[in-house]
Amino acid sequence: MTHSRAEGFQLSEDPEVWVAYERAIFTTELHRITNVITGIIAPHAKREPTDEWVRLVLEQLGGVQATLEVLTRMER
């Protein structure tokens, strides 16, 4: 990916470059979601195991985490 003020962001003509860039984004987001789950949500769930809010968040973010894991591992 390149950027210029005149043309903005530009992708290569090679689809493999697009996939590599997308996978890098998914990997970054996977790390961010994992850190939120382990650093914030899991301790909340441990202190308040019956809290419906934290259970919902944990379930939903767990699904996002699983999806990102699959996307970062898929072979093209």
Q: Is residue 60 part of a domain?
A: yes
Q: Which residue, 65, 71, 73, is CA-closest to 33?
A: 65
Residue 76 — very low, low, confident or very high, per pLDDT cuts 50/70/90?
A: low
Could you tell me the residue range of the domain that residue 53 belongs to?
13-73
Q: Is residue 55 part of a domain?
A: yes
| 2-58 confidence digits (pLDDT tens) | 667 787 877 778 888 888 888 999 999 999 999 999 999 999 999 999 999 999 999
Q: Is residue 28 part of a domain?
A: yes
Angle between helices 15-36 and 52-73 (to 10 degrees): 150
Residue 5's pLDDT is 77
Q: What single-letter DSSP state applies at residue 13? A: S
Q: How many domains does the chain have?
A: 1
Q: Is residue 19 part of a domain?
A: yes
Residue 52: burial class (beta carbons within 10 Å; 0-12, 13-18, 19+)? exposed
CA distances to 6, 35, 65 from 71, rounded to whole Å, are: 33, 18, 10
Residue 57's pLDDT is 97
Residue 20's pLDDT is 86
